[in-house]
Amino acid sequence: MSIARITRACREIGGKLGCSGDSLHDWWKQARQDAGAQPGPTTAETARIKALEREVRELRQANEILKKASAYFAQAEFDRPFRK
């Protein structure tokens, strides 16, 4: 089946279902990827990538906080009077 025919069918069916033809085409394409009939990331892979990206972002934020806290406490150590 040609891409033009699939796109046309998605537009016609999408209109009957109350959604855009582009949305229906995207769902159809993702279903084919999930089934392994078309190359591309599956829904599970996409979700895992998003979760890993979120984790990396959170770890970078935590690392920045720790760096700032370390610098603060290091400075406080220098400001403290010397004791024998």
3-state secondary structure of 1: coil
Indicate whether 49 and 30 sit together in one domain: no
pTM for this predicted structure: 0.67
Indicate whether 25 and 51 sit together in one domain: no
Higher pLDDT, 81 or 70: 70
pLDDT digits (tens, 9 = 90+) for 45-74: 999 999 999 999 999 999 999 999 999 988
Indicate whether 76 and 53 sit together in one domain: yes
Range of the domain at 45: 41-84
* % the chain with pLDDT above 90: 69
pLDDT value of position 43: 96
| Average pLDDT for 18-34 | 93
pLDDT value of position 78: 72
Distance (Å, rounded) from C-alpha 70 to C-alpha 74? 6
pLDDT value of position 1: 67
For 10, what's the count of Cα atoms within 13 Å in the CB-facing half-sphere?
17
> Exposed (0-12), middle (13-18) or buried (19+): which is 29, by Cβ within 10 Å?
middle
